[in-house]
Structure 1
Amino acid sequence: MFLKIANGLGGWVLAVYGVGMALPLWFLTGCASYHTLPLNDRLPGMAQVAQKIATALHREPPVSSTRAVNLHAPLSGETLGELAVLLNPDLRAMRAQIGVAQAQVFAAGLLPDPRLALSADLPSDVVSGYYNAYSIGLSWSLASLFTRSANLHIAQAQARAVHYQVAWQEWLIANQTRILARRLYYLRQQETVAKTAASTTDRFYLVSAENLRRGDATITTTTLRQIAWLDSRDRQLALRRQVTKVRYDLNKSMGLPPQMRVPLRAPHLLSEVPDTAHLVALADSHRLDLLALRAGYTAQEARVRRAILGQYPGFTIGISRAADTSNIQTIGPSLSLDIPLWNRNRGVIAESEATRAQLRAAYTARLFQTRAEISALVADLHRLRQEIRPLEQQVPQLQRAERQLRGAAAEHNVTLIDYETVRSQALAKNLQLLALKQADAEQQAALEMAVGLPWQQWATRR
């Protein structure tokens, strides 16, 4: 067919068609190719987990897969938070959004490709004086050039928003892990106290039961010992259930196997409660979710600008060369223009402006929520300090009194009811003090999470 066309139009038409066939082949050599990426149903094993933990702890790649990782040494909540950011499966999936945002920035900066159009009209009888007609046109749409800058600003601002959102989720996961670590640390202390009390009451009850069997104790004394042992045992089992649940939650947050037991280090606590106004100012300028909302609002501002530009007519320019069946050859420019008569992009403009107003209201609401949350946490810390201070002074005195009365009760110098009253109250106040310290430590971690900065940087950011 190419030879037939060439006989009527000349050798250059054949060259044009040859170029038309060669151009796609030339472009394909620089195009991306498709590769499958199957899903992975297998979870990482302990070797992979240990390797990632070693990388986080030592800040360098492990020498080999058999490198020992010391998980038996006590770890701080900060270290556990870093491990959670590294190992948490939800965060690993969320980080893939950054690649999508970067690809959108790349796509927004690309120029539109020109369009090449080829056509031919072949008369069925070439000996009658008719020629083969053809048309060659090259056009380029300029509409996207006017909105390219806005599209690029949208993609860049959206990419910043995604970066901030992912970083904010990492911050949340790290601090939630720290809260769980502090909760587990103090619950283990409470469980130890309850276990010791249960062991003591169990020993007293067994001795009293044996004395009752021999006739050396009364039923009243033995029953009181039994009730004290049952209460201590119930308290110990309840705390053990809490410890197990929090340990599972901590391992889940860090992406560790449920059965793993992580030793914990005592948390670093604030000596004084900071000023609320200073913390609010820090949160306004450093919280990553607020920065993400600002970046998203900037992207929406660019969308409004792009919608406004979309009301103007878009046009396409081009040039074409053609020949009809009479072999009359023509060449000339072309221009196609959209007429903004009814639509004028008014729907898109209204939608983008309404979305901008919604984002503005969402940012204001988040700002108000942040300030209220910080104020409430600071007030709770002040209240907890007022409750902890007298207990720290009185609990040691109650424990000393309990030890003295224990010996006196063994020698029958005080009644068993008096001793059990002091013992149970001393135990309850000791557990109450540990629970208040736990709440104080958790509230401090929650306050750091609300501010968006570690407390070590609060004084340096004035």
Structure 2
Amino acid sequence: MYSIFERSGWWRLVAVHGRIVLPLWLLTGCASYHAQPLRDHLPAMAKVEQAMAAALRHNHPASAHPVNLHAPLSGKDLGEIAVLLNPDLRAMRAQIGVAKAQVFAAGLLPDPQLALSADLPSNVAAGYYNAYSMGLSWSLASLFTRSADLHVARARAHSVQYQVAWQEWLVANQARILARQLYYLQEQEAVSQQAAATTDQLYRTSVQNLRLGDATITTTALRQIAWLDSQDRQLALRRQVTKVRQNLNKVIGLPPGMHLALRAPEMLKNFPDAAQLVPLADSHRLDLLALRAGYQAQEARVRRAILGQYPGFTIGFSRAADTSNIQTIGPSIHLDIPLWNRNRGVIAESEATRAQLHAAYTARLFQTRAEITALVADLHRLHQEITPLEQQVPQLQSAELRLRSAAAEHNVTLIDYEAVRSQALAKSLQLLALKQAYAEQQVALEMAVGLPWQQRGEWR
């Protein structure tokens, strides 16, 4: 007595066509599942320092001596380290792998479809046979749109690569800006600390002289006020230094409490006008290149949507036997009739998205040109403010030292000395603040132009 499987005729179907189906299954490589659990622990300090050393060796490949992470580092070094260690950038770079996988998927051909069925008559004694049918079909619709799908995926992959590179550029220059800000804040803190030590010494001397009757209450009170002001200024700058250092460590991807020694920033005095920098930005800024690639991807989507309005074909081949044991073999074709839909909704959405991207690119281009013009104007203004202070501040500092000695010998009044000392201190801090702003705006201009460091010679 045969089993249901044997009676149905499926065994004949498998026996006849198994020589074709089974090798196909064997030739198609099947992917296997591998778990990838999340890790919630942070890298050890040793690994962080190894990554920093690797970034510095990448910057200075000709250097034969080992990298000293405790030596003063330049903004360029910190920028490279930030690109390597920043957690957000490492997560964003995974998008490149996704985009490449989408390109791979867009180029794959569709798999054929195999359909098997059987009809089992309830009364086999009446001379009926078990009927079966087998059909093998393949959709040709994707063949007509494969080129457009590949164009979309490749353009999107280029857009993602440019977007990731632009974010790396922003993070690197943000680290450079914070490094310059931290350097000049530390310089201001050092000046304020020296001023606080001076006012503390003068105040203690005045208190001692007041006890001996050699000073007045007015003199002691003025020195006490000057000492309190200097303490407040020093503590305020210390808070700023701590905050900026933590922000810098966060951008780079370092532990919050890590201290890095910084090298003095390079200050450029000459730079072209905005009219010369704007064309460079149009051709070098990675975000503009990303928008162009995204627009090209959308152009391909519009073309893909247009192709989708044409009918899709599916061809096939079938073999069947009915309950009378009549064997049939024949081809088949399925055709989608574009009667009502005609892919009009997808076409309208694609064209509207293309118009939106066009407007976004125009707006970004306008914003870039306005930003470069404003930065160049700010740099010119800051340069005009810095130049006279660089000439006058050393003279004020020298006069303050001479008046300090004269005040100690009671040759000048305390009010006169305090007026000169406070103004000399204010102008010194103002000069450092202006240099800080100039250094930050200089990096901001390089960021807006979008030129890598090795290509800055083009506009220096």
Under TM normalisation by the shorter chain, which class is it?
Answer: over 0.9
Alignment match, 1:205? 203
> How far 1:274 sits from its partner (Å)?
1.7
Does the 8 Å CA contact 1:182/1:267 hold for their aligned counterparts? Answer: yes
Alignment CA distance shift 1:458-1:74 (3 Å)? closer
Alignment match, 2:396? 398
User: For 1:129-144, what aligned pairs fall within 5 Å after superposition?
Assistant: 129-144=127-142
Alignment match, 1:153? 151
Does the 8 Å CA contact 2:206/2:215 hold for their aligned counterparts? Answer: yes
Alignment CA distance shift 1:276-1:8 (3 Å)? closer
User: For 1:25-424, what aligned pairs fall within 5 Å after superposition?
Assistant: 26=26, 30-59=29-58, 70-424=68-422
RMSD over aligned CA atoms reads: 2.1
Does the 8 Å CA contact 2:182/2:241 hold for their aligned counterparts? Answer: yes
Deviations 1:161-199 (A, max 9, x none): 000000000000000000000000000000000000000
Does the 8 Å CA contact 1:5/1:13 hold for their aligned counterparts? Answer: no
TM-score (normalised: structure 2)? 0.95
Alignment match, 2:62? none
Alignment CA distance shift 1:287-1:410 (3 Å)? same
> How far 1:4 sits from its partner (Å)?
6.7
Does the 8 Å CA contact 1:130/1:325 hold for their aligned counterparts? Answer: yes
Counterpart check, 1:445 vs 2:443:
yes
> How far 1:104 sits from its partner (Å)?
0.1
Deviations 1:378-412 (A, max 9, x none): 00000000000000111011111111111111111
Tell me the distance in 2 between the aligned counterparts of 1:32 and 1:2: 38
User: Which is further off, 376-385 or 277-286?
Assistant: 277-286
Does the 8 Å CA contact 2:10/2:132 hold for their aligned counterparts? Answer: no
Tell me the distance in 2 between the aligned counterparts of 1:208 and 1:328: 122
Does the 8 Å CA contact 1:8/1:132 hold for their aligned counterparts? Answer: yes
Structure 1 gaps of 5+ residues are 61-66
Tell me the distance in 2 between the aligned counterparts of 1:107 and 1:2: 45
Deviations 1:328-355 (A, max 9, x none): 1111111111111111110000000000
Does the 8 Å CA contact 2:8/2:119 hold for their aligned counterparts? Answer: no
Deviations 1:72-115 (A, max 9, x none): 10000000000000010111111110110000000000001111
SS at match of 2:260: coil
Does the 8 Å CA contact 2:10/2:118 hold for their aligned counterparts? Answer: no
Tell me the distance in 1 between the aligned counterparts of 2:167 and 2:8: 69
Counterpart code for 1:31: C
Does the 8 Å CA contact 1:136/1:322 hold for their aligned counterparts? Answer: yes
Alignment CA distance shift 1:416-1:199 (3 Å)? same
Deviations 1:307-338 (A, max 9, x none): 00111111211111111111111111111111
Tell me the distance in 1 between the aligned counterparts of 2:88 and 2:124: 70
Alignment CA distance shift 1:16-1:380 (3 Å)? same
Counterpart code for 1:13: L
User: Which is further off, 126-135 or 137-146?
Assistant: 126-135
> How far 1:12 sits from its partner (Å)?
5.0
SS at match of 2:118: strand
